[in-house]
């Protein structure tokens, strides 16, 4: 009897299953190819992150990435795409913290906001979520937003990031307003505008990287300001 690893399937040679039962050689080989492709993609994205953080956006070239990841340039194009696609894929996986197909809105750190009945605790969890996000992607975004950086998809990338961040902010603050209400005289649109400005990557970069704040100090500062913006009293 042979046990196939990771599948829990056993095949006994003197009792071969009927056709269609168990795992075929083709299915097994295809699974191995998928895992190999996933490992290659992960290695490319890890190398891209290293190049971006250490050398800035201009250091991320397909040639340099191929050397760092020890793959051919064509493998990069086949696996992910050109420089713009590599940048976005690197950002997405860094933002999530892994390559599991779980939306950010379903991650435990995000869901905590919706498990409380207290407005202040909701804001604390939201500030914590912003801190978690920028702990992950802050260095990468800092590389792309450095003065003089542009072209090669950098501007389009940042526009897409800002659009996604705006939608995420609107979703969170909309949920807050629905559950707890907003300060008298504050419209939902203006609340989203204010929070979107306060939780921007530029603010995080200035306070943490340039001014030397700790991530904890940033989180506490953001929570305090958000209370002032959103909650009466």
User: If phi over 0 gives left and psi between -120 and 50 gives alpha, with beta otherwise, what is residue 190?
Assistant: alpha
Listed residue (142, 140, 189, 154) closest to 169, CA to CA: 189
Are residue 51 and residue 150 in the same domain, yes or no?
no
If one compares 1 and 133, the residue with the highest pLDDT of the two is 133
Mean pLDDT of 174-179: 94
Contact 93, 80 (CB under 8 A): no
The per-residue pLDDT of the chain, averaged, comes to: 84
Same domain, 166 and 226: yes
Domain end (from 41, 69, 96): 96
Say yes or no: 139 and 203 in one domain. Answer: yes
Average confidence (pLDDT) over 6-12:
31
Q: In this predicted structure, what is the pLDDT of residue 17?
A: 46
Which residue among 96, 125, 142 closes a domain? 96
Average pLDDT over residues 200-222: 93
Same domain flag for 68 and 138? no
Q: Are residues 92 and 36 part of one domain?
A: yes
Quick one: 110 and 219 in the same domain? Answer: yes
Dist. CA 153–CA 103, nearest whole Å: 25
Residue 16 confidence (pLDDT): 41
Residue 6, Cβ density class (10 Å: 0-12 exposed, 13-18 middle, ≥19 buried): exposed
Identify the H or E element spanning 10: strand 9-11
Give pTM, 2 decimals.
Answer: 0.77
Boundaries of domain holding 203: 104-230
**pLDDT tens readout for residues 106-155:** 778 788 888 899 999 999 999 999 999 999 998 888 888 776 666 777 88
Same domain as 215, residue 133: yes
DSSP character at residue 113? G
Contact 198, 229 (CB under 8 A): yes
Q: How many domains does the chain have?
A: 2
Look at 18 and 226; give whichever has higher pLDDT: 226
Whether the CB-CB separation of 225 and 198 falls below 8 Å is answered with yes
């Amino acid at each position: 009897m042979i046990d196939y690893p990771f599948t829990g399937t056993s095949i006994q040679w003197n009792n071969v299953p009927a056709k269609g039962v168990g795992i075929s050689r083709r299915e097994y080989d295809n699974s191995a190819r998928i895992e190999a492709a996933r490992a290659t993609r992960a290695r490319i994205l890890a190398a891209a992150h290293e190049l971006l953080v250490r050398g800035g956006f201009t250091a991320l070239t397909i040639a340099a990435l191929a050397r760092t990841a020890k793959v051919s340039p064509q493998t990069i194009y086949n696996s992910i795409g050109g420089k713009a696609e590599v940048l976005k894929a690197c950002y997405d996986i860094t933002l999530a913290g892994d390559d599991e197909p779980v939306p950010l809105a379903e991650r435990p750190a995000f869901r905590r906001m919706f498990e409380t009945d207290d407005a202040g605790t909701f804001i604390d969890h939201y500030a914590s979520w912003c801190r978690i996000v920028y702990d992950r992607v802050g260095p990468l975004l800092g590389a792309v937003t450095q003065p003089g950086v542009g072209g090669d998809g950098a501007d389009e990338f940042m526009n897409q990031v800002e659009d996604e961040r705006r939608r995420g902010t609107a979703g969170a603050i909309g949920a807050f307003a629905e559950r707890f209400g907003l300060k008298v005289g504050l419209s939902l649109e203006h609340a989203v505008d204010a929070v979107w400005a306060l939780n921007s990557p530029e603010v995080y970069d200035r306070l943490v990287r340039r001014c030397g704040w700790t991530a904890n100090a940033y989180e506490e500062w953001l929570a305090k300001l958000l209370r002032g913006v959103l909650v009466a009293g």
